[in-house]
A = this chain, B = another copy of it.
Amino acid sequence: MRYNRVTGAVVDELKTIVGPKNVFLDAEKLEAYSHDETNKEEYGHMPEVVVTPTTTQEIAAIVKLANRELIPITPRGAGSGLSGGAIPIYGGILLSVEKMNKVLDIDYGNMMITAEAGIVTNDINALIKEKGLFYAGYPMSVETCYLGGNIAENAGGGRAVKYGVTGRYVMAMELITPTGEVVQLGGKLTKDVTGYDLKQLIVGSEGTLGIVSHATIKLTGLPTAKSNLLVLFNTPKDAIDVVPVIMAKGTIPTSMEFMDRLSVQTCCEYLNESLPYQQAGAMLLLEFDGTNQDQVELAAEEVGDLCMENGAIEVYVADNYTTQERIWSVRRNIAEAFKVVSPIQSLEDIVVPIASIPDIIPELERISKQFDIKIPCYGHAGDGNLHATLVKNPTHSMEHWHEMMPIALRELYAVTKRLGGKISGEHGIGLKRKKYMLENMDPVELGLMQAIKRAWDPNNIMNPGKIFDLES
């Protein structure tokens, strides 16, 4: 890569575009934008300048400038990413959408909302709740992440078993292309075959094909009834074995989350919370929602019985908001808890076919023994998407960890591939998994992706070095 530096003249031009108060050069600010939720020491990189545009036209002007001057540009949402997608690894311009957080339109007739990329995902639901509407997107970082980041990563999260992932809800978007053109993609349409579906190509492309300035997302009716089950099992295998049994039965839960004992225990201690984890080797957290409380509770009861018939040792029902929130808070905070108590770790995101989930558990145990490390495991069991996390053994040296970790990861990915899975279900490839994707992907598929990137971004200035490199 040969990029140019951000010169004083470029900074002046940026100031003209967005105003001086939206251009940042001080070290503290640059440092804050040098990393995301991946390990800062390992993946962090300083941008040369941070800009916070407030309009589409400003973004387009910045991109045109970057393209003209051959300066890399890295778009950034809330920085809550888990694969280094928003890290400016070649320096250059860091473009944060944080000041573009307006709701542009709430369309009740079509049940859609149009909002800028910098809106916090949770704020969407807060806004529409009183109208009986609901956005089903629910990344675990829902309280901090932005809509733009959700689209860039095709975020999954806790409700995907029933509702699917972000992409299903993105109806339209405004995109600033890597050459600085502005284009509207999609529409408020449930069907559309007018040419290629570029909108869905952008979803999950991690900001490498352009910057989404605003998007229109589909809403559904607010589920007013809810019931949760916390189901205890003796072993992780017992818990996971029941997942395909439930999925095949027809009563699909909204969520089917898996947590092994180590995950629950670590998070309970972190939150000073008490869940009955002592007796259990693993748990499933099942949520059911709908519009009729009796029906929802009936569904929960049926699945609870099914769990008891298939190896569960106890089923707790949580049908009030406070208890539900307590349990979900434990689930949502596991990653944060591990970051605090075991900062040296690699949070993984493998996804396998639902019927193959039971096969992954003994493999995790094997890898854990082989490398003498703990691999706490939790995640979205109902999607086959598990956050097996490699945690450094405190008795090992850092050298040993750095040598061993890539080998252990390769083992994990090889098992995943053998079971028909992929290395990332929802966190994305970004910077962190780039070399592993290269090792695991058919070169023909990679070549097709690279061809699109080259065709749309001839100077490779839009979030370069993410997902794949172009030289390879």
Q: Which residues of the other chain, B, contact A452 by a CB distance below 8 angstroms?
A: 196, 451-452, 455
Q: Which of B111, B160, B440, B468 is in CB contact (< 8 Å) with A191?
A: B160
B198 touches A248 (CB 8 A): no
CB distance from A453 to the nearest CB of B (A): 8
A376 lies within 8 A of chain B by Cβ: no
Given contacts A109-B248, A190-B385, A193-B428, 14 further A-B pairs with CB under 8 A are A182-B444, A183-B444, A184-B442, A184-B445, A187-B353, A187-B420, A189-B420, A189-B425, A192-B351, A192-B422, A193-B424, A195-B441, A195-B467, A452-B455
A197 touches B190 (CB 8 A): no
In the assembled complex, the Cα of A421 lies from the Cα of B110 at a distance in Å of: 13
In the assembled complex, the Cα of A455 lies from the Cα of B184 at a distance in Å of: 22
B384 touches A244 (CB 8 A): no
Q: Provided the pairs A192-B425, A244-B109 are in contact, do residues A448 and B198 lie with their beta carbons within 8 angstroms?
A: yes
A257 lies within 8 A of chain B by Cβ: no
Q: Which residues of the other chain, B, contact A205 by a CB distance below 8 angstroms?
A: 196
Q: Provided the pairs A455-B455, A456-B448 are in contact, do residues A196 and B201 lie with their beta carbons within 8 angstroms?
A: yes
A226 lies within 8 A of chain B by Cβ: no
Complex A-B: 6 CB contacts under 8 Å: A182-B444, A191-B425, A193-B204, A197-B203, A250-B291, A452-B452
A354 lies within 8 A of chain B by Cβ: yes
A241 lies within 8 A of chain B by Cβ: no
A31 lies within 8 A of chain B by Cβ: no
B111 touches A429 (CB 8 A): no
In the assembled complex, the Cα of A135 lies from the Cα of B201 at a distance in Å of: 25
Q: Provided the pairs A187-B420, A353-B187, A353-B189 are in contact, do residues A198 and B250 lie with their beta carbons within 8 angstroms?
A: no
In the assembled complex, the Cα of A292 lies from the Cα of B380 at a distance in Å of: 29
Each complex incorporates copies of this chain amounting to 2
A195 touches B446 (CB 8 A): yes
Q: Provided the pairs A111-B248, A188-B420 are in contact, do residues A195 and B437 lie with their beta carbons within 8 angstroms?
A: yes
Q: Which residues of the other chain, B, contact A247 by a CB distance below 8 angstroms?
A: 111
A154 lies within 8 A of chain B by Cβ: yes
In the assembled complex, the Cα of A285 lies from the Cα of B422 at a distance in Å of: 43
A422 touches B189 (CB 8 A): yes
Of chain B, the residue at the smallest CB distance from A382 is B190
In the assembled complex, the Cα of A247 lies from the Cα of B164 at a distance in Å of: 20
B449 touches A108 (CB 8 A): no
A455 touches B451 (CB 8 A): yes
In the assembled complex, the Cα of A452 lies from the Cα of B209 at a distance in Å of: 12
A444 touches B177 (CB 8 A): yes
A48 lies within 8 A of chain B by Cβ: no
Q: Which residues of the other chain, B, contact A442 by a CB distance below 8 angstroms?
A: 183-184
In the assembled complex, the Cα of A184 lies from the Cα of B383 at a distance in Å of: 21
The B-contacting residues of A in range 86-134, CB under 8 angstroms, are 107-111
A324 lies within 8 A of chain B by Cβ: no
A429 touches B193 (CB 8 A): yes
In the assembled complex, the Cα of A425 lies from the Cα of B194 at a distance in Å of: 7
Q: Which residues of the other chain, B, contact A198 by a CB distance below 8 angstroms?
A: 445, 448-449
A68 lies within 8 A of chain B by Cβ: no
A156 lies within 8 A of chain B by Cβ: yes
B110 touches A189 (CB 8 A): no
B191 touches A156 (CB 8 A): yes
In the assembled complex, the Cα of A244 lies from the Cα of B182 at a distance in Å of: 32
A221 lies within 8 A of chain B by Cβ: yes
Q: Which residues of the other chain, B, contact A355 by a CB distance below 8 angstroms?
A: 107, 109-110, 188
Q: Which of B156, B168, B183, B204 is in CB contact (< 8 Å) with A448?
A: B183
Q: Which residues of the other chain, B, contact A429 by a CB distance below 8 angstroms?
A: 193-195
Q: Which residues of the other chain, B, contact A164 by a CB distance below 8 angstroms?
A: 190
CB distance from A308 to the nearest CB of B (A): 22
A201 touches B204 (CB 8 A): no
Q: Provided the pairs A198-B448, A446-B195 are in contact, do residues A189 and B352 lie with their beta carbons within 8 angstroms?
A: yes
A310 lies within 8 A of chain B by Cβ: no
CB distance from A347 to the nearest CB of B (A): 15
A165 lies within 8 A of chain B by Cβ: yes
In the assembled complex, the Cα of A167 lies from the Cα of B200 at a distance in Å of: 11
A426 lies within 8 A of chain B by Cβ: yes
Q: Which residues of the other chain, B, contact A456 by a CB distance below 8 angstroms?
A: 448, 451
In the assembled complex, the Cα of A201 lies from the Cα of B202 at a distance in Å of: 10
CB distance from A129 to the nearest CB of B (A): 15
A153 lies within 8 A of chain B by Cβ: yes
B-contact 0/1 string along A423-464, CB 8 Å cutoff? 111111100000001001110111011011011100000000
